[in-house]
């Protein structure tokens, strides 16, 4: 009887250890795989109700210069925001390492390479008129 219990206990321990190992491997694998990147697939633009299906959008998507050159990557969170998100006047553009900033997507201007003074461009962004509250 005691020996049978010991055998069962051993099986449980081995099973748990195996499950933990698989979980650890999967978790590490996900971390090592890193963020997804690539163009937004056409089906993501055809979500229900005319919204972008953000679940189909990679973590980083290519950014284009006004002449069509791929200049780097922009994050999904900033380029494809959710409702009521903050203003996106400046979006960093990253190199292939997804860490080095090679420029910015500036509202109304498109891609601006790193090193260019953004202040004049940002100053040119129209601000909302003071809403008329005397209705």
Partner 1 sequence: MTYRGTAYVSGYGNTRVCLQAGVGKSTVDDTVWFFGKTFAFDSSGAYCDGPRTLPAGWLGITVDAYKNGAFCGTSYYRYSSSAASTVGYYFYGLCSNPAGTQEFYSVAWGKIYTGDHYYQPNGIVSPSQNY
Which positions lie near partner 1, rule CB under 8 A?
38-42, 44-47, 49-52, 61-64, 66-68, 70, 74, 79, 82-85, 88, 91, 105-111, 125-126, 128-135
The two structure tokens encoding residue 125: 């962004």
Report the C-alpha gap between 48 and 33 in whole angstroms.
Answer: 30
Contacts of 95 (CB under 8 A, 6+ apart): 72, 73, 101, 102
Question: Of 29 and 126, which has the nearer Cβ to partner 1?
Answer: 126
The CB-of-124 to partner 1 minimum distance in angstroms stands at 9
The CB-of-130 to partner 1 minimum distance in angstroms stands at 7
């Amino acid at each position: 009887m005691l020996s049978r219990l010991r055998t069962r206990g051993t099986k449980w321990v081995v099973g748990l250890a195996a499950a933990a190992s698989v979980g650890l491997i999967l978790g590490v694998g996900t971390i090592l795989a890193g963020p997804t990147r690539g163009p937004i697939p056409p089906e993501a633009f055809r979500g229900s109700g005319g919204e972008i299906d953000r679940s189909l959008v990679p973590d980083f998507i290519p950014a284009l210069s006004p002449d069509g050159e791929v200049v780097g990557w922009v994050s999904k969170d900033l380029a494809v925001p959710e409702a009521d998100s903050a203003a996106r006047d400046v979006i960093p553009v990253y190199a292939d390492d997804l860490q080095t900033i090679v420029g910015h997507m500036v509202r109304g201007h498109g891609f601006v390479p790193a090193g260019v003074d953004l202040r004049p461009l940002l100053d040119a962004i129209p601000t909302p008129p003071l809403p008329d509250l005397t209705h």
